[in-house]
Amino acid sequence: MGFRMTKRNPGARESGQAAVEAAIILPLFVFLMLGILQIGLMHQARLMTKYAAYRAVRAGAIHNAKTDEMERAALAVMLPLVSEAKSGGEVIKPINSASDFSTKWTTGGVSKNEMPDAKMKYVEVVTCGPLKEDAGGGEEVDFDDPKIAGQAGWRESQRTKLRIQATFNYRMPIPFANWVIHSAAMNKEVPWVLRMGKKSTGTTGFEHSRYEKYKSAASDGTYILPIRAAYTMRMQSNIYVSQLPESNLCLTSNVPK
Average pLDDT over residues 143-171: 78
Task: Give yes or no for residue 242 having a pLDDT over 80.
Answer: yes
Task: For residue 59, give the nearest of 49, 47, 69 by alpha carbon.
Answer: 69
Which pLDDT band, with edges at 50, 70 and 90, does 1 fall under?
low
Alpha-helix residue ranges (DSSP H) falling in 132-193? 146-149, 154-157, 177-185
Confidence label for 249 from pLDDT (cuts 50, 70 and 90): confident
Sorting pLDDT into bands at 50, 70 and 90, what band is 203?
very low
Which percentage of the chain shows pLDDT scores above 90?
A: 35
pLDDT at residue 210 in the model: 67
Q: Report which of 233, 210, 249 is spatially closest to residue 56, judged by C-alpha positions.
A: 233
For residue range 175-200, what is the model confidence (pLDDT) as tens digits? 888 888 888 777 655 555 545 555 55
pLDDT digits (tens, 9 = 90+) for 79-92: 999 988 877 678 88
Cα distance between residue 216 and residue 222, in whole Å: 9
Higher pLDDT, 161 or 4: 161
Distance, in Å, from the CA atom of 36 to the CA atom of 87, rounded to the nearest integer, reads 23
Treating both helix axes as pointing N-terminal to C-terminal, what angle do 67-78 and 10-62 enclose, rounded to 10 degrees?
140
Q: How many residues does the chain have?
A: 257
What's residue 191's pLDDT? Answer: 52
Domain extents for the chain?
22-243
Q: What is the pLDDT of residue 123?
A: 96
Give the model's confidence band at 19: pLDDT under 50 very low, under 70 low, under 90 confident, else very high: confident
Q: Considering the chain, what is the average pLDDT of its residues?
A: 81
Instruction: Mark out the alpha helices in the chain (DSSP H runs).
Output: 10-62, 67-78, 98-106, 146-149, 154-157, 177-185, 212-219
> Is the pLDDT at 232 greater than 60, yes or no?
yes
Per-residue pLDDT band for 205 (boundaries 50, 70, 90) equals very low
Mean pLDDT of 155-175: 87
Q: Which residue has the higher pLDDT, 129 or 2?
A: 129
- pLDDT of 114 reads 92
Tell me the pTM. Answer: 0.79
**Average pLDDT of the residues in 239-255:** 77
pLDDT-based confidence at residue 226 (cuts at 50, 70, 90): very high
pLDDT for the residue 199: 53
- pLDDT tens-digit readout, 36-95: 988 899 999 999 999 999 999 999 999 999 999 999 999 999 999 998 887 767 888 889
